[in-house]
A = this chain, B = another copy of it.
Amino acid sequence: MTTEKRRAPAGAAVLRGEITSAIRTAVMQELAEVGYGRLSIEAVARRAGVSKTAIYRRWRSKLDLVLDMVSAVAGRNIPLLDTGSLLGDLEILLHVMARALRHRLAAQIIPDLLAEAARNPQIAEKLQTALDDYQQAVGRILIGRAVERGELSPDTDRRAAVDLIVGPVYWRMAISRAPLEAAEVPRMAAAIVAALRVACLGPARDEVEV
């Protein structure tokens, strides 16, 4: 290819960032409103006040568009503060999750995409890696620190631990769709700590005492 004579695009021949971000927010809103299944490029374009071509110039298809959004959002990893105790760490994590799921958009988009992931391999892959990263981070860092401190047994099952930690918040906010008051977090955190302590003891062979 003799591209030597070519000069870089300039002037009006350059993607306008404002439009790109207008599309992005429109996609989020549309995704929340109708879900991935019914997401239409035309609706996105309408909502963004933009032509369809503007979208197709940036992303090859609807799937590409959504995949890009997902990786953009899921890419940023959560900071897991070290408060010095498992209980403290958990409270922070629960607060962060609750805060995230309190946003209307997130609370609608996340369950929707997770459901869609069950049937769309591309979305599943993108989402699953993000989810795995998240779970691993929680498992390794949060549980790992607790093990180092001696708060949990070294042979704690990381996956089971993640289920016990993340499950209740997600169920409460995304499925049951009941608000989680900040005041409830400490209690939930304490309950989870108790659960984690028991979970690493292995199968319930012993009788439980009051």
Contacts and interface: CB of A to CB of B under 8 A. Distances in A.
Interface of A: 32-38, 85, 87, 107-108, 111-112, 114-116, 118-119, 128, 131, 135, 150-151, 157, 159-160, 162-164, 166-172, 175-178, 181-184, 186-199, 201-204, 207-210
Given A114-B111, A183-B203, A195-B194, A188 B160 contact: yes
Contacts of A160: 184, 187-188, 191
B183 A190 contact: no
A208 B87 contact: yes
Contact of A167 (B37, B128, B170): B170
Q: Which 4 A-B pairs have the closest CB atoms?
A: A37-B37, A167-B167, A167-B171, A167-B168
A114 B111 CA distance: 8
A163 B176 contact: yes
A209 B195 contact: no
Nearest to A175: B114
14 contacts: A35-B116, A35-B119, A87-B204, A108-B119, A150-B210, A151-B210, A159-B176, A159-B178, A160-B191, A163-B168, A166-B167, A183-B208, A183-B210, A189-B204
A102 B136 CA distance: 24
Contacts of A116: 35, 112
Contact of A204 (B166, B172, B186): B186
A128 B177 CA distance: 9
Given A38-B38, A118-B107, A190 B208 contact: yes
Contacts of A159: 172, 176, 178
Nearest to A116: B35
B196 A191 contact: yes
A154 to B, nearest CB: 14
A171 B163 contact: yes
